[in-house]
Amino acid sequence: MKKEKPIVPIVAALVVQLCVGIIYLWSVFKGNIVTSFGCSASAAGMVSSYMMFAFVFGNLIGGFLNDKKGPKLTCFAGIVLFALGVGLTSLVKSESFGLIYVTYAVLGGLGSGFAYGACISCIQKWLPHRRGLASGLACGAFGFSTVVFTPVSNALMNAFTENGVVNFTPVFLILAIVFAVVGLIAAFFIKLPSENYIKSLNLPAKAVANTINFTLVQAMKKPAFWCLFFSIFFINGTWNLAVPMIKDLGVTRGLSEAAAVLCVTCTGIANAGGRIIMSTLSDKLGRTNTMYILCGMTCLGAILTTFITGYGYFVAILIIAFAFGGPSSLNAALCTDLFGPKNSGTNYGVAMLALGLSSIFFNWVSGTFLHGNVTSTFIMGAITAVIPVFLMIYINNYLKKRATAE
C-alpha cells in the first residue's frame, strides 16, 4: 500500500488560505473606492464590517458542510463563492455602489469563511499530534495573504489609474481570475487522511483513547463552550477597535504618511507571525498558558497606544496585531481539544460567531458611548483583554478534571 504523505494536502490547504485571506485587504482599496465611486468614506468602510460578519457565517455554514461532505467540496464551494463575489464586484458601477455590499462583502465573505474553517480542520486532521502547529500554519497563511496581495493590488490600481481615478473593473476581474484558477487547482489536492495514516503516527494509546467527539448540541451544553465563545468575543475587541484608526492615528502620533502606511502593512506580518508562533508554542506550553501570555500582550499594547508616540506607537500596534493573530489559531486548536476533531468544523464555526459580534459591538460602544475618544477606547480594550484570563482558568480546570475522570 502506498504510504500517504501529508505535505501535498497541507500545502494545498495553505494555498487556498492565501487566496481567501484578503478579507483584511479592503483598507487598501478603500481610499480609491471613495474617489472612483463617489461614495462616502463611512459607506466604503462598512464593506469591511459586512464582510467580516459574512465571513463568520461562512465559517458556520461551511462547518456543517465540511463535517458532512469533507474539506475538498467545502473548499471548492468557498473558492467559487469568493471568486464570484470579487468578479461580480468588477461589474458594479458608481451609481450602484450598494451592490458591493452583496458582491464583495457578502459573497466574498461567505466564500472566505467556507474555505477558512475547512482548511484548518483538514490540516489539524493531518497533524493530530501537533494541533497548535496545524492551526498556526492554516491561520498564518490566511493572515499572510494581506502581505502578499497588498503590493499586487496596489500595482493593479496603479496600472489602471487615469487622471487620478482607478478603473476597478479590470482590477477586481484580474484578482477574481487569479483566485479562481489558483484556488480551485489547490482545492483539487485537498483530502483527509485515512485511518491507516493516523495509525502509522503511533500516537500514544492514551491520547487516542481520550479523544471525545462532541456534537454541536453536546458542546453547547458545556460551560467550557461558552467560555471559549466569550474569550473569542473579548480578546478580539482591542484589535477590532484599532483597525479603523491605525493609519490616521499613526500620523497624529508623529509618524510620516509613509511610515503609517508601512505600519498597516507590517500588521499583516505580525498577525501571521502571532498565528504561527503562538499556536506552535501552545503545543509545548499548553493552550491556556499561551492564552495568558496573549492576553497580557494585548493589554500592554492597548495601554501603550493610549499615550505613546512616534515609532513607539508603531511597535505598540504591532504588539496588538501579533497578540490578535495568536488567538485566531489557538482557539481553533483549543476547540478541537475540548470537543474533538470529528465535528470541529461545526463546533468552531458556531464559536466563531463571537468574532462577528465583537467586530460590531466594540466599535459601536466606542462610537456611541466613548465618542471615538482614543484614550477611553484603548482603556476599554485593555480591560476587555483581561477577561479571557478568567475564562481560560475555567477551561484549564475543566480539561484537568476531565483528564482525571478518564
Residue 75 shares a structural domain with residue 35:
yes
Residue 117 shares a structural domain with residue 236:
no
Looking at residue 205, its pLDDT comes to 55
Residue 198 shares a structural domain with residue 232:
no
Mean pLDDT, residues 89-109 = 93
* pLDDT beyond 50 at 380: yes
493516523: which residue's cell? 198
Residue 106 shares a structural domain with residue 66:
yes
Question: Domain containing 186: what range?
Answer: 1-202
Residue 49 shares a structural domain with residue 20:
yes
Domain-terminating residue out of 176, 202, 228: 202
Looking at residue 377, its pLDDT comes to 92
Q: How many CA atoms lie within 13 A of 387 on its CB side?
A: 17
Q: From the CB of residue 387, how many other CB atoms can be counted at a distance below 10 Å?
A: 16
Residue 339 shares a structural domain with residue 374:
yes
Burial of 10 (0-12, 13-18, 19+ CB in 10 A): buried
Mean pLDDT, residues 85-98 = 93
Looking at residue 209, its pLDDT comes to 46
Closest CA to 319 of 289, 298, 290, 292: 298
Domain-terminating residue out of 171, 202, 233: 202
165 phi and psi, to 5 degrees?
-115, 130
Residue 332 shares a structural domain with residue 390:
yes
Q: Which residues of 268-294 are buried (b: 16+ CB within 10 A; e: fewer)?
A: bbbbbbbbbbbbbbbbeebbbebbbeb
Residue 19 shares a structural domain with residue 166:
yes
Binned at pLDDT 50, 70 and 90, residue 322 comes out as: very high
Q: How many domains does the chain have?
A: 2
Model pLDDT for residues 202-235, shown as the tens digit of each residue: 766 555 445 678 999 999 999 999 999 999 999 9
- Most confident of the following: 4-18, 133-147, 236-250: 4-18
- Most confident of the following: 118-122, 125-129, 264-268: 118-122
Residue 220 shares a structural domain with residue 191:
no
Residue 14 shares a structural domain with residue 78:
yes
CA distance 317 to 312: 9
SS (H, E, C) 6-67: CHHHHHHHHHHHHHHCHHHCHHHHHHHHHHHHCCCHHHHHHHHHHHHHHHHHHHHHHHHHHH
Looking at residue 2, its pLDDT comes to 62
Indicate which CATH number applies to the domain containing 347. 1.20.1250.20
Domain-terminating residue out of 145, 177, 202: 202
Contact 109, 52 (CB under 8 A): yes
Residue 141 shares a structural domain with residue 124:
yes
Looking at residue 363, its pLDDT comes to 79
Model pLDDT for residues 337-351, shown as the tens digit of each residue: 899 888 888 898 899
- In the chain, the amino acid numbered 223 is P
Looking at residue 129, its pLDDT comes to 81
Mean pLDDT, residues 60-81 = 94
Percent of the chain with pLDDT strictly greater than 90? 53
Contacts (Cβ under 8 Å, ≥6 apart) of 200: 3, 4
CA distance 15 to 148: 12
Residue 330 shares a structural domain with residue 406:
yes
Does the predicted model carry a pTM greater than 0.85?
no
504523505: which residue's cell? 5
Contacts (Cβ under 8 Å, ≥6 apart) of 143: 21, 24, 268, 271, 272, 274, 275, 325, 328
